[in-house]
Amino acid sequence: MSTPPEQRQPPRRPVLEPTHVVRRRHTAALAELIREFRENESRPPEPVHEPIVVHVEPPTADEATEELPPVPSRGRRARPADDGLTLRRAAVVVGVTAAALMGFGAALLLPGPGNDGAAQRAAAPPHRSPAAVAPSERQSTDPDGPGTLREGDSGPEVTELQQRLLRVPDVYDHGVTDGRYDATLAAAVARFQLWYGIRGDETGVYGNDTRRDLEFRTML
């Protein structure tokens, strides 16, 4: 029998040691810095500016001989200069005193609280009803204008008012023309003022504004 061939061992190789990898350094910035440094050394030195000299004029004779204010003595106080403040204070004090005296005198002349009501009652005119006021006096003093008619009046003018209201639909239906300004007629006048937006006169009073609007809408 043939013998098997002998197994050969691989040859031994030297062990490789780890090596350090050297990275490439960027030296462009360092070279630029060295180049600028060399250029600065080669440049001529900049000229030095001379300092600016400011000439100050010496003081004049008047300024040198200016007098100082007098020093007050130790025994006496220096009297401050009167700049008008003392006079103003005195004027204010006099004005306040005069106002107080005038107010006190006015309080003495005015009537007391007990006589105030009596004076008002004496000055107030006697109250009179609208019917008792004369037509001429009412025309001159009535705020609704001359010729104003109100509840309690009577006469041909009231009759004309009733006739005109009868011509307005649904204002004075079945009303009478008796020439008397009663509550029914006052209600009809108030209804006419409300429906047609008349605000210049009192409610239920036949004044200038109500008369003007009613005469414009009706004809006799």
Q: Is residue 40 part of a domain?
A: no
CATH at 203: 1.10.101.10
Amino acid letter, 107: A
* 97-127 CB burial, b ≥16 within 10 A, e <16: eeeeeeeeeeeeeeeeeeeeeeeeeeeeeee
Reported as a single tens digit per residue, the pLDDT across 22-75 is 666 667 777 888 888 888 877 766 666 667 777 667 766 665 566 666 766 565
Instruction: Give the chain's domain count.
Output: 1
Query: What's the pLDDT at 181?
Result: 96
Show Cβ contacts of residue 219 under 8 Å, excluding neighbours closer than 6 positions: 167
- Mean pLDDT value across residues 148-160: 94
Query: What's the pLDDT at 48?
Result: 63
pTM over 0.85: no
* Residue 148 near residue 202 (C-beta atoms within 8 A): no
| Residue 38 exposure: Cα atoms within 13 Å on the Cβ side | 6
Q: Is residue 162 part of a domain?
A: yes
Q: Is residue 115 part of a domain?
A: no
Provide the domain limits for residue 159.
150-217
Q: Is residue 119 part of a domain?
A: no
- Mean pLDDT value across residues 171-185: 93
Question: Between residues 52 and 175, which one has the greater pLDDT?
Answer: 175
Q: Count of residues for the chain? A: 220
Q: Is residue 101 part of a domain?
A: no
Identify the burial level of 148 via C-beta atoms within 10 angstroms of its C-beta, where 0-12 means exposed, 13-18 middle and 19 or more buried.
buried
Q: Is residue 136 part of a domain?
A: no
Q: What is the mean pLDDT of the chain?
A: 75
* Residue 190 near residue 198 (C-beta atoms within 8 A): no
Q: Is residue 155 part of a domain?
A: yes
| Residue 61 exposure: Cα atoms within 13 Å on the Cβ side | 0
Q: Is residue 39 part of a domain?
A: no
